[in-house]
Structure 1
Amino acid sequence: MIMVWGGVFLSVSKSFHHLKWLIGIFVIEKSIYGCMWINWLIHHNLSDVYQEDIMAGIFYSIYGINDWLFGLFFFLVFSYLIKSKK
């Protein structure tokens, strides 16, 4: 799914200024994944994951940060598009 979403983001990158509501949906999507990551961290022990599988531990350590950062990026783009007169 990561590759699919990457393809979606790339497919609209050249025409994003016409797609402000789609960018807004990206903000919502990234916020949901970010919140799910925080919820997972609250209810699970990350060190247990590292003991089982280091790669899984690394994944669970960073994927939510990645979602929050991209969510912030999409929020800034969405805010810019909402404020623009086009």
Structure 2
Amino acid sequence: MESSSSSIRKGFILAGLMNMSVLLFSKLFTNPVIPEFDPVVMSNFGLLMILIWGLAYISVANNYQEVKWLIAVFAIEKFIYGFTWINWHLNNSITEVFDKDLLAGMFYAVYGLNDWIFFLFFTYVFSNLLKARKSS
């Protein structure tokens, strides 16, 4: 269980660091192309909130077992961003974004994949916490 707990802890830290990568893609919130292509979700305020979510993931890395319902919230949040990303791709052209800015194009190409992966991770952790609670 200890190695599993260590891996899960690292997963929370990785999730947070991945969210913090928004600083790179947004060029420290100075890249106008990201908000141009999704001014509601990916405004500079939205990008800042992605950073804050990342800090939240890291903040529970050492005690995630004690905040199982917060982990469920994390899973829901990742599902929403993943769904939003799919919807964005169904209604927009990634080529147009790449034509304007490489980092913005890379951001739109991959951010949802990251969200779906961590949706599965948070769902797995939450599910295991529920099972552990029932068996104790």
* Coarse TM-score class (shorter-chain normalised): over 0.9
1:25 aligns with 2:67: no
Q: Provide the alpha-carbon RMSD of the alignment.
A: 1.0
Give the total of aligned pairs: 86
Any gaps of 5 or more consecutive residues in structure 1? none
Q: TM-score, normalised by structure 1?
A: 0.94
Q: TM-score, normalised by structure 2?
A: 0.61
1:16 aligns with 2:64: yes
Runs of 4+ that moved beyond 3 A: none
Q: Distance in 2 between matches of 1:27 and 1:61?
A: 21
Any gaps of 5 or more consecutive residues in structure 2? 1-48
Q: Distance in 2 between matches of 1:15 and 1:46?
A: 39
Q: Which fold has the larger relative contact order, with Cα–Cα distance below 8 Å and residues 6 or more apart in sequence?
A: 1
Residue number in structure 2 paired with 1:81:
129
Q: Which deviates the most, 1-10 or 15-24? A: 1-10
What is the identity percentage for the equivalent residue pairs of Structure 1 and Structure 2? 48
Q: How does 1:5-84 map to 2 (within 5 A)?
A: 5-84=53-132
